[in-house]
Amino acid sequence: MDVSDHGGPLRTRDSGEQRVTPLELFFDLVFVFAVTQLSHLLLDHLSIRGVLETLFLLLAVWWAWVYTAWFTNWFDPDRLPVRLVLVAVMLASLLMSVAIPEAFGERGLMFALAFVAIQVGRTAFAVLALYGASHPLSGTFWRILTWLVAAGVLWVAGGLLEGGARYVLWLLALAVDYAGPVMRYRTPGLGSSRTEEWTIEGTHFAERCQLFIIIALGESILVTGTTFGEIEASAVTVCAFVVAFLGSVALWWIYFARSADAAREVFTSSEDPGRLGRSAYTYFHLPMVAGIIAVAAADELTVAHPGEIERGAAEHDSRGGGARGSGGVRDHELVRGGGHDDPRDHRDVKVRVGRAPQASRHGGVGDGVLPGRGAAVEVDPPQRDAAEEGDYKRRRGRAGVR
């Protein structure tokens, strides 16, 4: 049975291709903020742990958004009940986004409750809207609700706990969430769904996922422009700014110039669009979004300190030194470079492991690990003439190194 055979809040399929509605575009604004929160979280915690936590939260944010994309493919946002549900989901999504920076800290419960409210509340509405209808989606939503409630218990329990217990419970919750579509929501007593029953309209769903790619690319443009506006323009920073912008253009070109239209044509002509929607869009779009957010974070660092990154790498590589240590920010003295009689070339090289100067979003200079480097290099020149010493200190001051 096709979706159009049932009235009420469901979309009709007899009017050709579905288009994205203004409410869906308005809904996406909340996730513009969510993506910004994620990129800033990554910049503020440039470590392996920070990357993993950001990736974990991205998985949750994406899951909340993409489930809503499925929902609005079936349910008409122009119907008042559906519109009210989407507004409520927007509010919960905004609370979830606000909690992102402290999701593994003081606002863990806030993040978990908001996420569970989004997933369970939206699906409960679908169950009630289809209750008593002989529609294939009715059984599907009952199964989805069962899986989301089971995952929701783990999410909330993790939010109530701290430390390692939160990590374990949230990992289990996320595993349940992501296993659902693969397992076709197999539920005791209810069986499993068939992807043929997931009668989505391919053009609309493809367009929704394309819009999320635009959101992620927009974050790259935003941080590039904001960072460049807060620093002193020079030949090096202008070049870095242009390179970062062209990188965003290249990502857009790769996705939209050919791939997006070709994928949409395959999607709309498929005999099983539900299966393609699950694999090609629900799962396989996520690595692209994650990569674009990572590029946005790298763009901010590149534009803010292009010369510093190059200088630090050159100093470190030319000395052949390495840093060893564990835990926190720690200074390690390395063997002084030698091989020259000029005493000015005998420099004490100091490597600060873990965090290096980076541009603050508020115009200041903070600490962060340079991408691909893992250490920032400071050179302490005890033996220089007065002119060279003054020039060196001025350069250190501009770079924000104390």
CB 110 within 8 A of CB 99: yes
* Among 46, 35, 71, residue whose Cα is nearest residue 366: 46
**Do 40 and 135 sit in the same domain of this protein?**
yes
- 13's CB contacts (< 8 A; 6+ apart) are 2, 3, 4, 199, 201
Residue ending a domain, among 276, 304, 332, is 304
- Residue 190 in any domain: the answer is yes
Q: What is the pLDDT of residues 348-397, one digit of tens each?
A: 333 333 333 343 443 443 443 433 333 333 333 333 344 444 444 444 44
**Do 200 and 78 sit in the same domain of this protein?**
yes
**Do 139 and 238 sit in the same domain of this protein?**
yes
CB 85 within 8 A of CB 122: yes
**Do 28 and 114 sit in the same domain of this protein?**
yes
pLDDT of residue 24: 96
**Do 294 and 354 sit in the same domain of this protein?**
no
- When computed from its CA atoms, the radius of gyration of the chain, rounded to whole angstroms, is 26
* Among 148, 156, 73, residue whose Cα is nearest residue 111: 156
Backbone angles phi, psi at 300, to 5 degrees: -65, -45
- Residue 282 in any domain: the answer is yes
CB 219 within 8 A of CB 39: yes
β-strand partners of 320: none
**Helix, coil or strand: residue 348:** strand
**Do 192 and 288 sit in the same domain of this protein?**
yes
Q: Residue 148 corresponds to which amino acid?
A: L
Residue ending a domain, among 269, 304, 339, is 304
**Do 278 and 330 sit in the same domain of this protein?**
no
What is the rounded CA–CA span in Å between residue 193 and residue 140?
6
pLDDT of residue 15: 62
**Do 247 and 298 sit in the same domain of this protein?**
yes
What separation in angstroms does the CA of 204 have from each of 56, 69, 89, 211, 227? 27, 9, 20, 11, 35
CB 287 within 8 A of CB 212: no
- Residue 309 in any domain: the answer is no
**Do 145 and 179 sit in the same domain of this protein?**
yes
Q: Give the chain's domain count.
A: 2
Q: What tokens were used for 11?
A: 């979309």
What is the reported pTM? Answer: 0.74
CB 60 within 8 A of CB 112: no
Q: What tokens were used for 243?
A: 């390179």
**Helix, coil or strand: residue 187:** strand
What is the rounded CA–CA span in Å between residue 280 and residue 66?
12
Residue 61: exposure state from Cβ atoms within 10 A (0-12, 13-18, ≥19): buried
**Do 295 and 378 sit in the same domain of this protein?**
no
Q: What tokens were used for 26?
A: 């308005």
- Residue 310 in any domain: the answer is no
Residue 241: exposure state from Cβ atoms within 10 A (0-12, 13-18, ≥19): buried
**Do 51 and 84 sit in the same domain of this protein?**
yes
What is the rounded CA–CA span in Å between residue 115 and residue 62?
11
Q: How far apart are the first and last CA of the chain?
A: 69
The CA-based diameter of the chain, rounded to the nearest angstrom, is 90
Residues (pLDDT < 70) of the chain are 1-7, 14-16, 307-402
* Among 71, 29, 36, residue whose Cα is nearest residue 57: 36
Strand pairing of 365-368 and 375-380? unpaired
β-strand partners of 367: 357
- Residue 144 in any domain: the answer is yes
pLDDT of residue 329: 29
**Do 395 and 269 sit in the same domain of this protein?**
no
Q: Residue 376 corresponds to which amino acid?
A: A
Residue ending a domain, among 277, 304, 331, is 304
What is the rounded CA–CA span in Å between residue 402 and residue 396?
7
Domain that holds residue 55: 3-304
- Residue 311 in any domain: the answer is no
- Residue 317 in any domain: the answer is no
Backbone angles phi, psi at 123, to 5 degrees: -70, -35
Helix (H) or strand (E) holding 304: helix 286-304
- Residue 350 in any domain: the answer is yes
